[in-house]
Amino acid sequence: MVRKRFITPVVVALAMAGMAFAPASEAQQPKTLRMVPYADLKILDPMFTTSYVTRNFAYLVYDTLFAMDSKGQPQPQMVDKWDVSDDKKTWTFKLRPGLKFSDGSPVKSNDVVASLKRWQTKDNIGQAMTRAGGKWDVVDDETFKLTLEQPFGLVLDGLAKVSSYPAFIMPERLANQPGGKPLNEVIGSGPFVFKRDEWVPGNKVVFERNPLYSPRSEPADGLAGSKAPNVDRIEWVILPDSNSSVAALKGKEIDMIEQVPPDFISVLQEDKSVNTGTLNRQQVYLVLNQALPPFNNEKARQAVAHMIDQNKVTAAMGYPDSIRVKYCDTFFICGSPNATSAGSESFKQPNPELAKKLLAESGYKGEKIVMLLPTDVAYLNAATLVAGQAMKDLGLNLDLQPMDWSTATARRARKNPVDDGGWNAFVSSAAEFNVDSPINNTYLGAACGNSLPGWPCDAKLDELRAQWIAATDPAERKRLLDAFQVEAYRTFPNIPLGQYSTVFATQGGVKNADKLWGLPNVWVLDK
Amino acid sequence: MGVEMEYVVRRILAVIPVVVVVAVAVFMLIHLSPGDPAALMAGDYATTEDIAQLREALGLNEPLWRQFVLWAGRLFQGDLGTSIFTQTPVTTLIAQRLGPTVSIALLTTLLSVIVAIPLGVLAAYRAGGLIDRAVMVFAVLAFSVPVFLVGYLFIYGFSVKLSWFPAQGYVSLSHGFIPWIKSLTLPCVNLALVYIALLTRMTRATVLDVLHEDYIRTARAKGLSVLPVLHHALRNAAIPIATTVGVGIALMLGGVVVTETVFAIPGIGRLVIDSVMHHDYPVIQGVLLISAATYVFINLAIDLTYGLFDPRIRY
């Protein structure tokens, strides 16, 4: 009796609670794609950080004037028509009609020009454009123009640039805000709207279909063509633990993992209920500090390069043979339009004898070499250990200093001597769009006077890069590209350590995964 | 003002020096540790100039004492500041994480108490017997096996293979009681195993002590049945048990990092770890301050419950 008196109200209370908090019926549920991004979104301003996750976020909420198709060719996106003068110094662009920002205001030329002026101050192609005398002006609400003092071969490539920094278009009042801190307001004309009220940093980022988005009529192709979404809602679920994310995919709680950790690639490739594919190619590279001895001497850098076995590096990172390149002979990503083997001949196999001879000629006297070893980024940790072992085998007095990635990023910005908090070497990686040309490549694209950690400077590279940018004839561009790489193999602004691809995984029920290209362009996906 | 109220006020006022010490210690520790939020914010391909400009804009180049005074000044007005990265107020970030953390803390505690206290009493009553040994083996195992390992086994068994519970994530109560409890079952059971082990051993030891007291022997000699005897014993053994339960709640409210990470629960623990990894100073400072204050208040609450178990205790 007592038990019955106790249990009955509890059951009733639970049932009422269940009814009170009952979820909406299935029929009301929007079509939602749940994806685990490779990192958490922290910064909302794509012109403030080079972080890929912020760029990927921006591709959902902003649009660009041009965009790369799956062949890596720039195609019009927000632009309807464009025209270039015979002397190639004046470019006129007209916007597509009907473009609107997510706040309902029309996209006008003054928004575009303000956004491009902001982009020009940050991006290396934008800066090169400025050095060529590039100036953006409003003609009317739909028309704007670029005037140059000299021809510039990369106008469309720059406007369609995929990474660091893409030329996203935002309202003039946001683009004109001072650049000291990241923008906190998000108003774009892209296919999705950012749901700030549902954003829980470290847990969830939510996007909803932008009802004001005006897609192109061409089908989606790479980042170009129609970006009309097939789903109503996208949820980025932040899962910091790899085991949990794979379990969630297998348990059908999420639809996609953007970057499958190396250890799980083979497991998921064998799972029939899951589809896997490669999203983009990556290069892992070694940076040697050229502001300090011994690597201020190019012979010491060449010596290290002669010790590197790329196959060992990418194998240690845990990537299966099928998605890594055992040896890549170009600085510009094997398989990309700018891939060339010029200058690579003597580096195909490690050559310890030659390496030791070069090191001796560099005047190295056994000084301590500080190498930053990130402990919390597994693949960089592995690559650093392998590169470090090669440097030890060369005879360098290596001091591998373990630290978290955050500390390493702060430390590498210091130019001090190694005994005063400085450093000599670190390993990092970049996606193909930050590697694949003499201007896109972060290290090879940096002119003398740059302030990239490592501070490379080679006047001949600067000259060849400038000529390559200005050249418009394909044969001449190829000749200059080869000459550029030959010089890079001599002075090593950085040393490529290997190439691999990132692998994504989707549920079997997710459609169009074969259309994913370069970054999570999830507007192509359907379920 | 009654004596007890005076005690409560005195203890509440004692929070102030604790918070001040924590504030200074936390501020100094995180600002003197290596790492730079500006370098992380600017991204992998940022130049040293970009980073230097950002440090200036964020006020990180100001002398440390000035940064502390500015922060303390805002704190005095109840403003915990804004995340350097997400530009979100720290109070909002904490509020977003409070639901999962409080849910885990309360459910885990409830489960632990419901299971551990009867087990501990039973083990004490049958000390040296088969049940006692079985309970102690369970307690040693539950305490020794790493939480993350049990978590992964739970996910593999109950999520991947049986599909009974979700492998990850927290569903708020506003989305329904059933989804909420399902999202919390595995993490809470996982975490409760440790607390059950701890509490079972604590209960067993204290009840065992009490069972050897003269008044228990007298009660038994007078023919009192088992349940009333155990009731008396438990009440007299309650203070250390209540202390353990209270400390457990306080620790869980500070965040349970491993469980939150394995089950992707967006709780306070993950917020702290994430902020530490990014050197997001205002968030680290804010969360640790709140955690310290919570700890002090829960300790006060535990002290006040002593009077309920033992009427002789007065403040």
Residue of chain A whose alpha carbon sits nearest to that of B161: A251
Say yes or no for a CB contact (<8 Å) between A241 and B54. Answer: no
Does residue A145 have a pLDDT over 80? yes
Say yes or no for a CB contact (<8 Å) between B86 and A200. Answer: no
Q: What is the pLDDT of residue B3?
A: 66
- What average pLDDT does the structure give for chain B? 89
User: Using CA atoms, how far apart are residues A459 and A470, in angstroms rounded to an integer?
Assistant: 17
Residue of A131 and A193 predicted with greater confidence: A193
Residue of chain A whose alpha carbon sits nearest to that of B276: A406
Beta strands A368-374 and A397-403, pairing class: parallel
Q: What is the pLDDT of residue B239?
A: 87
Kindly state the average pLDDT of the residues A219-247. Answer: 94
Say yes or no for a CB contact (<8 Å) between A413 and B41. Answer: no
Say yes or no for a CB contact (<8 Å) between A43 and B86. Answer: yes
User: Best mutation site among B55, B94, B177 for testing chain A: the one with the most A CBs within 10 Å?
Assistant: B177
User: Using CA atoms, how far apart are residues B166 and B173, in angstroms rounded to an integer?
Assistant: 15
Say yes or no for a CB contact (<8 Å) between B176 and A164. Answer: no
Nearest to B93 among A201, A240, A244 (CB): A201
The shortest C-alpha distance from A177 to chain B (Å) reads: 14
Lowest-confidence region among A17-26, A109-118, A312-321 = A17-26
User: Using CA atoms, how far apart are residues A504 and A37, in angstroms rounded to an integer?
Assistant: 10
Residue type, A9: P
Number of A to B CB contacts under 8 A, please give it: 163
Kindly state the average pLDDT of the residues A237-265. Answer: 92
Q: What is the pLDDT of residue B1?
A: 55
User: Best mutation site among A11, A42, A375, A434 for testing chain B: the one with the most B CBs within 10 Å?
Assistant: A42
Nearest to B155 among A164, A202, A244 (CB): A244
Does residue A462 have a pLDDT over 90? yes
Does residue A25 have a pLDDT over 50? no
Q: What is the dihedral of CA A438, A440, A441, A447, to 10 degrees?
A: 70
Confidence of residue B111 (pLDDT cuts 50, 70, 90): very high
Q: What is the pLDDT of residue A7?
A: 44
For chain A, positions 179-238, list CB contacts with chain B under 8 A: 180-182, 184, 200-204, 237-238
Q: Which of A11-15, A359-363, B54-58 has the highest mean pLDDT?
A: A359-363
Q: Does A453 touch chain B (CB under 8 A)?
A: yes
Confidence of residue A15 (pLDDT cuts 50, 70, 90): very low
- Contact of B270 with A202, CB cutoff 8 Å: yes
- Contact of A107 with A189, CB cutoff 8 Å: yes
Convert the pLDDT of each residue in A434-451 to its tens digit.
999 999 998 998 888 887
User: Using CA atoms, how far apart are residues A510 and A275, in angstroms rounded to an integer?
Assistant: 9
Nearest to A239 among B96, B159, B168 (CB): B168
- Contact of A151 with A472, CB cutoff 8 Å: yes
Does residue A2 have a pLDDT over 60? no
User: Using CA atoms, how far apart are residues A1 and A14, in angstroms rounded to an integer?
Assistant: 20
From the number of C-beta atoms within 10 Å of its C-beta (0-12, 13-18, 19+), residue B63 rates as exposed
Lowest-confidence region among A73-87, A280-294, A399-413 = A399-413
Residue of chain A whose alpha carbon sits nearest to that of B181: A18
Residue of chain A whose alpha carbon sits nearest to that of B275: A202
User: Using CA atoms, how far apart are residues A192 and A183, in angstroms rounded to an integer?
Assistant: 18
Confidence of residue A456 (pLDDT cuts 50, 70, 90): very high
| Cβ neighbours of B268 in A, within 8 Å | none
| Cβ neighbours of A435 in B, within 8 Å | none
Nearest to B167 among A22, A251, A411 (CB): A251
Lowest-confidence region among A5-14, A223-232, A252-261, B58-67 = A5-14
Mention every residue, 6+ apart, whose C-beta is less than 8 A from residue B49. Answer: A451
Confidence of residue B221 (pLDDT cuts 50, 70, 90): confident
User: Using CA atoms, how far apart are residues A236 and B106, in angstroms rounded to an integer?
Assistant: 28
Say yes or no for a CB contact (<8 Å) between B48 and A413. Answer: yes
Mention every residue, 6+ apart, whose C-beta is less than 8 A from residue A158. Answer: A123, A125, A126, A128, A129, A167
Q: Can you give the residue ranges of every domain in chain B? A: 2-76, 97-308
The shortest C-alpha distance from B14 to chain A (Å) reads: 34
Lowest-confidence region among A118-127, A205-214, A494-503 = A118-127
**In the block, residue with structure tokens 């087990």:** B119
Q: Does A273 touch chain B (CB under 8 A)?
A: no
User: Using CA atoms, how far apart are residues A163 and A50, in angstroms rounded to an integer?
Assistant: 8
| Cβ neighbours of A203 in B, within 8 Å | 96, 170, 264, 266, 270
The shortest C-alpha distance from B279 to chain A (Å) reads: 8
Say yes or no for a CB contact (<8 Å) between B43 and A51. Answer: yes
Q: What is the pLDDT of residue B2?
A: 67
Could you tell me the pTM of the whole model?
0.86
Does residue B31 have a pLDDT over 90? no
Kindly state the average pLDDT of the residues A121-130. Answer: 90
Q: What is the pLDDT of residue A22?
A: 44
**In the block, residue with structure tokens 């409003």:** A138
The shortest C-alpha distance from A227 to chain B (Å) reads: 27
| Cβ neighbours of B272 in A, within 8 Å | none
Say yes or no for a CB contact (<8 Å) between B176 and A253. Answer: no
Nearest to A407 among B34, B41, B174 (CB): B34
Residue of B224 and A257 predicted with greater confidence: A257
- Contact of A46 with A190, CB cutoff 8 Å: no
Does residue A12 have a pLDDT over 90? no
User: Using CA atoms, how far apart are residues A212 and B220, in angstroms rounded to an integer?
Assistant: 81
The shortest C-alpha distance from A303 to chain B (Å) reads: 25
Lowest-confidence region among A73-82, A121-130, A386-395, B132-141 = A121-130
CATH architecture designation of domain B97-308: Orthogonal Bundle (1.10)
Residue of chain B whose alpha carbon sits nearest to that of A415: B48
Per cent of chain B over pLDDT 90 is 46
Say yes or no for a CB contact (<8 Å) between B39 and A44. Answer: no
Say yes or no for a CB contact (<8 Å) between A50 and B45. Answer: yes
Q: What is the pLDDT of residue A270?
A: 92
Does residue A159 have a pLDDT over 80? yes
The HSE-up count of residue A441 (CA atoms within 13 Å, CB side) is: 31
Residue of chain B whose alpha carbon sits nearest to that of A165: B45
Confidence of residue B196 (pLDDT cuts 50, 70, 90): very high
Does residue A8 have a pLDDT over 50? no
Q: What is the pLDDT of residue A9?
A: 46
Lowest-confidence region among A21-35, B43-57, B76-90, B95-109 = A21-35
Does residue B315 have a pLDDT over 70? no
Does residue A16 have a pLDDT over 70? no
Residue of chain A whose alpha carbon sits nearest to that of B269: A202
Does residue A248 have a pLDDT over 70? yes
Say yes or no for a CB contact (<8 Å) between B278 and A406. Answer: yes
User: Using CA atoms, how far apart are residues B11 and B5, in angstroms rounded to an integer?
Assistant: 10
Per cent of chain A over pLDDT 70 is 95
